[in-house]
Amino acid sequence: MFKRQTTQVIAHRGSKGTRPENTLLAFQAALDAGADGIETDVQLSRDGQMVIMHDEKVDRTTNGSGLIKDLTLAQLKQLDAGSHFGREFAGTKMPTLDEVIQLLIADHFSGVFNLELKTNKIPYPGIEQQLATYFTQQPVPFRLVFSSFRAQSLVTLRKLYPQAEYAKLFKTAGRQAKQMERHQQVAGLHPDIRWVKAHRFWLPHMQLRPWTVNSPADMAYCFRRHFAGIITDYPARAVALREKIQGSERV
């Protein structure tokens, strides 16, 4: 009898709903919540260091201002990346990619690490080569998935580092994503959950990981359809609901 897949819970920028996003605190909280995966974003500082932040500017999530690409790592490390979320998180620092990887290795993480290349607005020339070099020199004991809204970044990195998995992010551009999957340039699709519900009659369930799935109703929608994964700000909430919905099927 065919066994339906268990939907993986992937923590969006860590446990973004309960901790300052894309910080070591957020990633640790996601691990403690039992998340199957971590999703995060990589960009380059002015001095070419791989740093973890979603926005191209530091304004929203730190006490600083300006573009990441215009600030050195030393300047970025001076910023407070926690106070915007709550006073108790004051002094939290923006991490480098390597600091996140070392946290996961120390935690014996063996799930999915989904790294988004934030190259759709600022191309960050050479970031694909840097990532390929880094992961060649730093083997990881977990499943590595690269995603991006920018198709060319995925095509470029896949040639340099074919041993990872690749997934196309999209809000509405489903046609391009489906073409990339058809041409085996990506193995997974990461669509906006709103697109998923609007296209419910066309759903390649096996490697579909919608974002950002936060409401109990949206979580239940995905769990009942056994999507490959969901990307959520609330991993603890999602893990508990998955057990109620998919756990009851293991009778």
Q: Per the residue annotation, which of 54, 190, 199, 226 is the catalytic one?
A: 54
Spatial contact of 230 and 213, defined as CB atoms under 8 Å apart: yes
Q: Is 226 a catalytic residue?
A: no
**Please, what sign has the CA dihedral across residues 205, 206, 209, 213?**
positive
Q: Is 12 a catalytic residue?
A: yes
Q: Residue 17 and residue 129: Cα distance in Å, rounded?
A: 32
Place of tokens 């990346």: 81
- Type of residue found at 63: N
Q: Residue 52 and residue 140: Cα distance in Å, rounded?
A: 18
Spatial contact of 38 and 10, defined as CB atoms under 8 Å apart: yes
Q: Per the residue annotation, which of 12, 84, 190, 205 is the catalytic one?
A: 12
Q: Residue 60 and residue 53: Cα distance in Å, rounded?
A: 11
At residue 90, the 3 state secondary structure works out as: coil
Catalytic residues: 12, 54
